[in-house]
Amino acid sequence: MIIIIQCRDEVGLVAGVSGVLAKHSLNIVSMDEYVDKAENRFFIRLEVEEIADNEALRQELKQILPDNAHIQIDPQPQKRIVVLVTKEYHCLADILVRNYFGTLGAQVQCVIGNHDTLRDICLRFDIPFILISHNDYSKAEFEERVAESVATYQPDYVVLAKFMRILSPEFVARYPMQLINIHHSFLPAFVGASPYRQAYERGVKLIGATAHFVTNDLDEGPIIAQQIIPVNHTYTAADMVKAGREIETSVLAKALNLVFNDRVFVYKNKTVVFE
């Protein structure tokens, strides 16, 4: 069983939480905790062996924690996700393989694409593919159609696996901290379109990828995971794109694993990640 707490920091929180768990005869298997001193914020993730009366445990924890503490007990162990795609296959293919072999930590409910390019690979893995072309609707209508399809599956998260569309604030507001995007640069560098072209023109010596939650600020949502690799003057923009695909796949896989295992805390525009 997993217990997740985020609240205002004060003296004695770890002792208080441990005492409540001991009262319920819950043995702590692992514990990660962190205090953001600048924000006076306390974060803790615990794994315990036994199963308890969740509501009774929640009420007792609430009594010893500061007001407005955020408490999660035994979150949904197998998350449900919907994946949004355009034409690039590499991130989607990795998700589908992990889903097939049961190592994703979530279940892919469907894939929604604004092009038909990736339908075949979805069908090969017996995953429903829904085509909603952005060319057939206004932006608002397109997003409404996507939202309707997403709602059918009631996912815990929506993964943007190289979904190359800028989403409106209205769409983003439907899924607070539920939209996970992979961006092909080491943010905050090279936001927006064509980051590899931007990196090539700037002559950088490192390129990277960033997985983050989506907010109304383009490519500025809370960062979950990042990775970089070295490049040099011999790399063309096309070489950078090819090398970058490997990083994008790896970073997105890592970020999803962390999120699905409830290891990511969000506060304001930052994350606390217990790896």
For position 208, what pLDDT does the model report? 84
- Record: fold of 2-73: Alpha-Beta Plaits (3.30.70)
For position 157, what pLDDT does the model report? 98
Question: How is residue 93 written in tokens?
Answer: 């293919």
For position 92, what pLDDT does the model report? 98
For position 241, what pLDDT does the model report? 82
Kindly give, in sequence order, each residue whose CB lies less than 8 Å from that of residue 153, ignoring residues fewer than 6 positions away: 80, 82, 109, 110
Radius of gyration of the chain (CA): 21
For position 77, what pLDDT does the model report? 76
For 68: left if phi > 0, alpha if psi spans -120 to 50, otherwise beta; the answer is left
Is 116 among the residues known to form the active site?
A: no
On whether the pTM is more than 0.75, the answer is: yes
Question: Along the 275 residues of the chain, how does pLDDT read in single tens digits?
Answer: 899 999 999 999 999 999 999 999 999 999 999 999 999 999 999 999 877 788 899 999 999 999 999 999 987 778 999 999 999 999 999 999 999 999 999 999 999 999 999 999 999 999 999 999 999 999 999 999 999 999 999 999 999 999 999 999 999 999 999 999 998 877 777 677 777 777 878 888 888 889 999 999 877 899 999 998 888 888 888 888 888 888 999 999 999 999 999 999 999 999 999 99
CATH class, 79-273 region = alpha beta
Give the active site residue among 136, 219, 239, 262: 219
- Please, are residues 121 and 141 in contact by the beta-carbon 8 Å criterion? no
Q: Residue holding tokens 């979950």?
A: 224
- Please, are residues 150 and 82 in contact by the beta-carbon 8 Å criterion? yes
Annotated domain spans of the chain: 2-73, 79-273
Question: How is residue 23 written in tokens?
Answer: 């009262």
For position 126, what pLDDT does the model report? 98
Q: 188: cis peptide before it, omega within 30°?
A: yes
